[in-house]
Amino acid sequence: MSEIIELNNIKKLKKKLTLKQKCFDNKKIDIGDLKLYDATKKILNNRGINSHKEIKDFLYPSLNNLYNPFLLKDMDIAVSRIVDAISKNEKIFIVGDYDTDGVTATSLMLKFFQEIGVETDFYIPTRNDGYGLSLDAIKKAIELNFGLIITVDNGITSLDEVDFAKVMGIDVIVTDHHEPPEELPNAYAVVNPKRKDSKFPFKELSGAGVAFNLLMALRNKLRAMNFFQNHSQPNLKKYLDLVALGTLADIVPLLDENRICVRFGLSSQDYSCIGIESLKKVSGINGNLTSRNVSYSIAPRINAAGRLYDASLVVDMFMKEDRLEVEEIAQRLNEINNERRKLQTQIVSDIEKKINYTDESVIVASGKGWHRGVIGIAANTISYKYSKPAIIISEMEKVSIGSGRSLQEIDLFSAIKETGDMLEKFGGHKMAVGITIKNDCIDNFREKINKIVEEKYGKLSFIESYDIDCEVSLEIFNREFLEELSQLEPFGQSNNEPLFFVKHAIIKDKKMVLEKYPKFLISDNTHDIWMISFDREMDLKIGYMYDIVFTAGMNNGYMSFAVRDAFLSKIGG
């Protein structure tokens, strides 16, 4: 049973710690044909992974465990329409979105059709166009004489736009993963795992994941028709690097099919495009991609283009084969991302001058001049810092744009849905939402969203919390255990990097890494371990005793430990 304690850390900030398990030795446990460290088993149990099959599938995912894509409602209809287009040499128009999930899903579709010789074009909206299938996108399809549009990572709320396309003689296949409205668009097919009538077992695919399922189904159909006797057959496994980028960036749960796709996508040694190699280079990443450097280095550079300029630039980078051109685009994305950082820092500073985070359960802040492309990531920063959902609104003349981010246990989309009567438009999912709202409704919206969240989840106080997987003694950590622990990767939503907690640890020595990060030699009388802190202000004093929250893993073949937080030990505690 979990133990919950509240402590003041060395900066005198109150933190809530939930200690889920205890593990003070490194014994191994037999689980069927598996032999795991006790701590590994307990960490898996914390994630609801208990049976032998569940554990084996989680630690050793297989592409054979991907679901039948035809379980997705309307998949058979969508595939039949695309096959008809291919047989008639009809051009196919892909409409994506301006974030990482949208541009990777778009690139997936383009690469597949290019490989089998189908003529395509694409449209990525700018933030000024707004989210979803737009009239401008449809007009471009009309001008270029396209008879079929396939949306990726959008379209589920584009009812009027789909009707317009239909009137103009264009069929629309919607592929999306966002929450469907009560009324679905009147499209030729609507493929979305969140449809109530979908039999697909996993509901939390990313937009790139839905696009990948469409391509799996389409390839199966074409294979059954002997299409590949005269055409090259795409290797879909090679495309999983793009699926991994989209899935990680969209903060969907890294479980089930998402975990399989991301695990194989990150481990790829042969990228589907040189654009990924170039992004790694400008990001300073060596070796295989990890979930951490995708989330903190790759995705921000991709997203920056859509936030400030035109995300079509990213699709061009993924599709081009001239290395020099691709590297120039990657460098440009790096420059745009630096510009984004400056804007984000200023917005967050402005927000913190405005908000009273002690009173609100949902932080709602609005301001003029805040770049609408940056408010989403600013909301994420504020939500993380104050341990509350945050909705940041960029005020315009009459109607404003807002972007929200949530915490794991709070379904922000459901809360937003209950305020729909005062919103012009809204969409998203549990963790991330977007709204359009009239300026004179903002204050009432702030009051109502707080009331809704407080009624469902209680008054949310500003106390950062840690879900600690195991209270431990340091002697359990050895190379074999950490290599086993690495099988839990990739880490992300619903599968966070394990947190450990050691009590009464003495600081025996300290030094600086790269002249900016403190590193401490920590001993609990069972073992001594060097742990780095990426908080430059972390100041643990030699000879003092602390209770420490930390992470442990392998980094480029070396055992790696990092202090997350520290509390002065209470003697006898």
The DSSP code sequence of 541-569 is PTT-EEEEEEEEEEETTEEEEEEEEEEEP
Q: What is the pLDDT of residue 358?
A: 64
Mark whether 392 and 454 lie in a shared domain: yes
Which residue among 447, 462, 477 closes a domain?
462
Phi, psi of 183 (to 5 degrees): -105, 125
Residue 492 one-letter amino acid: G
- Same domain, yes or no, for 428 and 554? no
Please tell me whether residues 144 and 15 are part of one structural domain.
no
Q: What's the structural domain count of the chain?
A: 3
pLDDT at 324: 97
In one letter, which amino acid is 388? K
In a domain, 144, yes or no: yes
Report pLDDT for 570. Answer: 82
Q: What's the CA gap between 369 and 318, in Å, rounded?
A: 32
Q: What percent of the chain has pLDDT over 70?
A: 98
Give domain status of residue 251, yes or no: no
Please, are residues 331 and 324 in contact by the beta-carbon 8 Å criterion?
no
> What mean pLDDT is predicted for residues 552-559?
90
Co-location of 372 and 477 in the same domain? no
- pTM of the full structure: 0.90
Query: Does some domain include residue 191?
Result: yes
In a domain, 60, yes or no: no
pLDDT in tens, 493-545: 889 999 999 999 999 999 999 888 999 999 999 999 999 999 988 999 999 99
Q: Which of 462, 482, 505 is the last residue of a domain?
A: 462
Residue 367 maps to a domain: yes
pLDDT at position 145 is 94
Residue 238: half-sphere exposure toward Cβ, Cα within 13 Å? 12
Is residue 545 one of the residues assigned to a domain? Answer: yes
Phi, psi values for residue 543, rounded to 5° = 90, -15
Q: Are residues 87 and 194 in the same domain?
A: yes
Same-domain pairing of 78 and 8: no
The answer to the question of residue 437 being in a domain is yes
Same domain for 457 and 472, yes or no, is: no
Domain at 191, CATH number: 3.90.1640.30
Length of the chain: 573
Q: Is there a single domain that holds both residue 512 and residue 364?
A: no
Is 46 a domain residue?
Answer: no
Q: Which of 178, 201, 235 is the last residue of a domain?
A: 235
Q: Nearest 5°: CA angle at 356, between 351 and 358? A: 130
- In this structure, the answer to whether residues 195 and 72 fall within a common structural domain is yes
Question: Average pLDDT, whole number, for the chain?
Answer: 93
Indicate the SS3 state at residue 98: coil
Q: Are residues 19 and 83 in the same domain?
A: no
Question: Within 13 Å, how many C-alpha atoms sit on residue 23's CB side?
Answer: 24
> Do 77 and 145 lie in a common domain?
yes
- The confidence band for 573, taking pLDDT boundaries of 50, 70 and 90, is low
pLDDT attached to residue 129: 75
Render pLDDT for 331-374 as a digit per residue (tens, 0 to 9): 999 999 999 999 999 999 999 988 776 678 899 999 998 999 99
What mean pLDDT do residues 137-143 have?
96
* Domain housing 439: 355-462
